[in-house]
Structure formats: C-alpha cells, structure tokens
Structure 1
Amino acid sequence: MTHLRYGFRTFVLELVMIAVGLAFLFPVYALITLSLKGSQEIASSPLAPPVPPTGANYSSAWSSASLGSALLNSTVITVVSLVCLIAIGSFGAYFLARCASRLGFTLYVLFLLGIVLPFQLGMIPLFKLVDQMGLLGTYQGMIIFYTGIQLPFTIFLYTGFIRALPRDYANAAMIDGASHLQAFTKVVFPLLRPITGTVLILNAVFIWNDFFTPLLYLGGSARETVPVRVFAFVGQYVSDYGIVFAGLVLAALPILAVFLVLQRYVIRGFASGLKG
C-alpha cells in the first residue's frame, strides 16, 4: 500500500485553500461586524471587532423596516412555490423519463430551451398578462411566476435522476395492481429524496434572493418580500449603516438555515441528476 507524503506541494495547496476560504469568509465577517457597531464606531474603525458589540441595530431594523411582514411574505411565496415545483416537476419528469415516444422527447427539449432562454425576454408580456389577470401585488401572481420560471430546471434535475433509477421498482408495484400514479407516489417519489433536497435548496435560494421580479410585481404593496424591503430600507436609512447591515443579516438568516440543513443533499443530488 502506498502512503501519501506531506510535501512542499501539499503545503502550498493548503495555503492556497486557506487563502480562498478566508476570501469567502471576509464579507461575512464584515457584514456581522458592521451590524454590531454604532455609527461613530463604523466611521472610525469599520473592520475592527466591535467593542462592545451592540444588538440595538437589529431591533431598530426589525421595527423600522417592517422586516417581520417581509419575512412572512417571502416565506409564503417561497414555500408554496417549492411545493408546486416539487409536485409538478417530479410527476412531469417521471412521465418524460419513462416515455419513449417522440412526444416525450419533444417536451423534454422544450423544457431544456426554457433553461437556456433568459426569462427577462418575456418580462413585459408577462407583466401585462399578470396585470390583466388582476394578480399584481398578490401571492398568487408570484407563485405562478416562480413555478413557471423554475419548472424547466426542476424537471431537468428530476428527469436525469429518474432515468438512473431501475424500472423494476415501479414495474413490480404495477404488477401488483398499482396504477402509474400510485407507483410514482408510493414507490418512486420516496426514492427521489436526494434530488428533492437539491431542488429545494437551489430553488429556495433563487426565489428568496430574487429582487427584480418582486420589485416589479409587488413594489409598493403590502406583499413586498425581504430583498425589496431591504432595498427600500437602505434608501431610507442610508446614513445609519449599522441598521442597514443588521437588516441584511436578518434577511439572510432564514435561507442560510435552510441551506445548512439541506447542504448534504446539494452535491449528491445534483451529481445524480446529471446522469442519464
């Protein structure tokens, strides 16, 4: 058995990785440090550790910018959109992965085109359509929008994963008398846990952090999401950067918690979704 030796090359590689890690951690350090300082301390020593740290910025950000209602709006839109994406995307991908006809191949190519083409090309007609339907400033309009925009990417991941699964599981269930729907919901879908975790985190990050679409569809309404509310908050309190950075930390915490819980599924599920 050969043993790897710790040499100069390994030492240099470790130094490079440490430097890269510090480069990624520095913005997080700056964000948290500035959120725990007062205005005078930020002006005199912006990157030094806060002495002493203060939590007043967080209470001010929560009350002044109404982040509580914005977090609720973002949570409702994100959660319902994810449920629709998983339900429609997984079942649609099951049909595309198991259908050997030209129709299935054509539909799959159309979904791939939905990934390639930027959705900004259709923003004006989509806005007019949502306006004519009376869905501007509503949860429903945003949920329908995100479900449609992210469905091609979701189906792409699910289809690759389902193609890599053996057909024997679903076939055995149908031999026992189960329908295609029952075979999918009771046999196939539980096997999709890794890719479902990937679908959850990737779509959740996109929907939660999206700024342009909620600004266009929800701006000025009571349904504004966190990025839109933080943007307005920055414009109103731009002189007090401590409150601004505290609002940014509060906005990032929920999606960061979701990512930490589901992180083990991201790489494993994404790699499996590329098979087939």
Structure 2
Amino acid sequence: MEQDTRYRIPTLILEIVLIVIGLLFLVPFYFLISNSLKTFGEILSDAAALPSTLQWSNYKSGWEAINFPSAFKNSLIITVVSNLLLVLLSSMTAYQMVRHNTKFNKALLALFVAAMVIPFQSIMLPLTDVTSRIGLSDSLIGLIIAYLGFGAPLSVFLFHGSMKSIPLEIEQAARVDGSGTYGVFFRIVYPMMRPMYVTIIILNTLWIWNDYLLPSLMLTSESLQTIPIATYMLFGQYTKQWDLALPALVLGIAPVIIFFLAMQKYIVSGIAAGAVKG
C-alpha cells in the first residue's frame, strides 16, 4: 500500500500558523535593530517605523560609550572560564555520584537539588560580605568562583540524570583493556555525553553572558565591567541614551547569537545520534 504524500489543507494551515508564531518571536529583534539605526528624535517620535536614514555612526558611538573591547574581554573571560570549570567539575562530580551510589552521595545530590530552589535575593548580602572578607570582591576570579557555586547544582543535576543512561558494561570492558578511572571518563563517558555538555554550555553561556545582578554586586572597578553593566550605565535617572544603548545591546547580544547558531548543529546531531543508538 502506497503512502499518501498529498499536501493536505490542515498541513498548510499548521505551517502558516508556525510561520506566524516564528515571525512574532522576531518582532523584538526588529524593534532593537531598526531603532539602533535611528536618531534619538526618531526613536522617541515613532519607534515602530523604519529609520529614514541609517545612522551607522550610532554603533561607533555606542562602541566608545561602553568601551566595548574592555567589556567584551571581561565578559568573554568570565563566561569561558566559568563554563570550562563548570562542565569539567560538574560532570566528574556527577560521574562519581552515579558510579558510587552511596548514602553520602545520595545526600550530596539532595543538597545540590535543594540549592537550586534557594532564591538568589536571599543570599545577596551574605555573598557580598563573605567575598569582601576573603578578598574576592572586585575581581574576575571571585566572580568566576561565585558562578561555579551558583551554576554547579543545575549542572550536576543534569549530568547525573544523563549519566544513568550510559551502560556500565562499556566502562567495564574499557577497564579490562587497562584503562584507569580518568581514561574511562575521558575516552568513554565524555564522547557519549557530548550532547549534554553542549546543552549545559549553552544554558550557562546565556545565563552568565547576560547576567547583570551578580557582576553588579561583586565588581566595582570600571575596568572590570561586563557588557550588561557597561550598557546599564547609559540609563540614568533622568536621561536614557537610547541612540547609544540600543546599538550597545546589539553589539552585546551578537556574540551569543553567533555562538548559539554555531553550536546548534551539535545539539541536533547529538540528539539524532542518541535516538539511533536508543
């Protein structure tokens, strides 16, 4: 019996609805990009209209206003180092918990899960007090350590759930061939966990790169400002420099969008490979 491949009306309607929903998600990007190319007067007069003249000079002014190279460097260092440490330490911690399912490790996992529900606002003041006492305030190292503490619970939880699906027999075969614990982890477990690694890196990148609250509490020097902090400086109590802030926002989110589009194929391929193996 031949499969019916005719293009039906319900399929057409569904595709139209999905296209409309997709366009709705692009509306904020339209307002952001179009207004970033307008003069300050045009933004206030009609924010929805297209710019009469493309003001590319806004990007140069925004670049200089937030000292973009310095802010970009700080954000990049914090995001990359925090991500590398988070995925490495969290995955190794989760692997130890899964393969040694003792009462202590079960209690430790419960503490990680409990830490996920603690509101950040409830520990802001103790955090600033402790970091200042031990000399970690106003430093990139101190901020990275703070991100490790706040990001570890979710990362360990996700790695823990994913590692349960890895067959123990594969690791036992590798140990018979002479591989040690680290060899088994990096040669066997890591390749099989690559989709989860990519997923956690993307989640943490979106969080750390766009985070404003934690850097604003720990960083006070102008030379250590991240992109969100530098951009916020354009919004004063009485004046909002939209013609500078909007180009700065575009410059700030562009690296994250490029990173997400570059990593997306690895997520799709990883999920597809996992489905075939299952």
So what's the TM-score if we normalise by structure 1?
0.90
Q: Percent identity?
A: 36
Contact 1:74–1:225 under 8 Å retained in 2: yes
1:163 — aligned with what? 164
2:192 — aligned with what? 191
Report Cα offsets for 1:225-273 as digits up to 9, x if no partner.
Answer: 111110012328945422211011011111111111112345777997x
User: How do residues 42-61 of structure 1 correspond to structure 2 at under 5 angstroms?
Assistant: 42-61=43-62
Shift in CA distance, 119/175, structure 1 to aligned 2, threshold 3 Å = farther
Shift in CA distance, 23/94, structure 1 to aligned 2, threshold 3 Å = same
1:80 — aligned with what? 81
Aligned residue identity for 1:35:
S
How many angstroms apart in 1 are the aligned matches of 2:265 and 2:128?
37
How many angstroms apart in 1 are the aligned matches of 2:43 and 2:120?
40
Aligned residue identity for 2:157:
F
2:127 — aligned with what? 126
User: How do residues 16-31 of structure 1 correspond to structure 2 at under 5 angstroms?
Assistant: 16-31=17-32
2:210 — aligned with what? 209
Alpha-carbon offset, residue 2 of structure 1: 4.2
In the alignment, structure 1 residue 109 sits paired with structure 2 residue 122 = no
Aligned residue identity for 1:206:
W
User: How do residues 7-22 of structure 1 correspond to structure 2 at under 5 angstroms?
Assistant: 7-22=8-23
User: Number of paired residues?
Assistant: 272
How many angstroms apart in 1 are the aligned matches of 2:70 and 2:271?
33
Report Cα offsets for 1:27-82 as digits up to 9, x if no partner.
Answer: 10110001111223334443222233221001001112212211111111111101
1:200 — aligned with what? 201
1:250 — aligned with what? 251
Show structure 2 runs of 5+ residues with no match.
Answer: none
Contact 1:194–1:265 under 8 Å retained in 2: yes
Contact 1:197–1:269 under 8 Å retained in 2: no
Shift in CA distance, 87/239, structure 1 to aligned 2, threshold 3 Å = closer
Aligned residue identity for 1:95:
Q
How many angstroms apart in 1 are the aligned matches of 2:122 and 2:105?
26
Alpha-carbon offset, residue 166 of structure 1: 1.5
How many angstroms apart in 2 are the aligned matches of 1:62 and 1:81?
25
In the alignment, structure 1 residue 182 sits paired with structure 2 residue 180 = no
1:144 — aligned with what? 145
Alpha-carbon offset, residue 20 of structure 1: 1.6
Please, which moves more after superposition, 253-262 or 236-245? 236-245
Shift in CA distance, 35/17, structure 1 to aligned 2, threshold 3 Å = same
1:226 — aligned with what? 227
Aligned residue identity for 1:98:
R
Moved over 6 A (4+): 267-272
1:64 — aligned with what? 65
How many angstroms apart in 2 are the aligned matches of 1:97 and 1:242?
52
Please, which moves more after superposition, 205-214 or 171-180? 171-180
Report Cα offsets for 1:161-218 as digits up to 9, x if no partner.
Answer: 2111112232122112222122112222222211110011000100111111111111
